[in-house]
Amino acid sequence: MKSWLITGVLLLVSRWVPAQQLSATEIIKKADDRFNGESSGISTMEMTVIRPTWQRKVEFKSWSQGRENSLTLITAPARDQGQTFLKREQEMWTWNPAINRLIKLPPSMMSQGWMGSDYTNDDILKESSVVKDYTHEIVEEETINGSLCNKIKMTAKPEAKVVWGHQIWWVDKKDFNILKAELYDEDGALVRTELGSEIKLMDGRSIPTRLELIPAEEKGNKTVVIIKEIRFNVPVEDSFFSQQNMKRVR
């Protein structure tokens, strides 16, 4: 009876280990897994590119398989409708129905903004592992939009092939959502800030549905992405991510 009681107490305690006892690496892994740790996903999003004198809205649907494969279909505006982007591991193609042409994106186009936004093609193609490529340190606790967060500094490992010298993430202690991120270059200069807000329940999990990317040195520039729908672990065959499917997916 005593052995059973002790075991039961230990199991109960283990289920209620507070987030503050997790290591910085464990917190980052939990935060990363909320979007990237699933086997597959299907999402519908709306992106607004904001500039000092104009704005442009793009709507799209995406299918993903882990970190390696993704296929994105532009659904609006009408002039871009039907354009697709395919990522397979470290290669990326685009197909434009207006000119009926399939193009493999060369290195010279990697730094260009995706669909004219502040996200680059390189952001989409070379997604590094924030868990494996960085060391992690909890700096302090800080409140973002009413949510208590762990402020964590991630420093790139010397051997890691990553764009950012270091990153700082604010991860809320309740649901492990990333509410703010600052990304710095190798010289320690802030390049951009990313914000997550408008937390909603989608496919059984609470996630930020409004994502903002703000460049540090381009005043008045911003890209806002709204997640309209997202489903996790929906079966998607490997054959779905093909050049042939780029022309017929809807």
Look up residue 108 and give its two tokens. 């010279």
Q: What is the mean pLDDT of the chain?
A: 88
Look up residue 26 and give its two tokens. 């464990």
Q: Cβ distance 237 to 42 under 8 Å?
A: no
15 or 217, greater pLDDT? 217
Single-letter amino acid code for the residue at 111:
S
Rounded Cα distance between 11 and 17, Å, is 10
pLDDT digits (tens, 9 = 90+) for 134-187: 999 999 999 999 999 999 999 999 999 888 999 999 999 999 999 999 999 999
Nearest partner of 125 among 108, 151, 105, 141, judged by Cα: 105
Rounded Cα distance between 242 and 161, Å, is 27
Write the DSSP symbol of residue 115: G
Select the highest-mean-pLDDT range: 97-101, 113-117, 195-199.
195-199
pLDDT at 34 over 50: yes
What's the CATH code, domain 21-246? 2.50.20.10
Say if pTM beats, i.e. exceeds, 0.75: yes
Residues facing 208 on adjacent strands: 199
pLDDT of residue 10: 34
pLDDT of residue 221: 97
Nearest partner of 31 among 184, 161, 138, 163, judged by Cα: 138
Write the DSSP symbol of residue 114: G
Residues facing 37 on adjacent strands: none
Write the DSSP symbol of residue 113: B
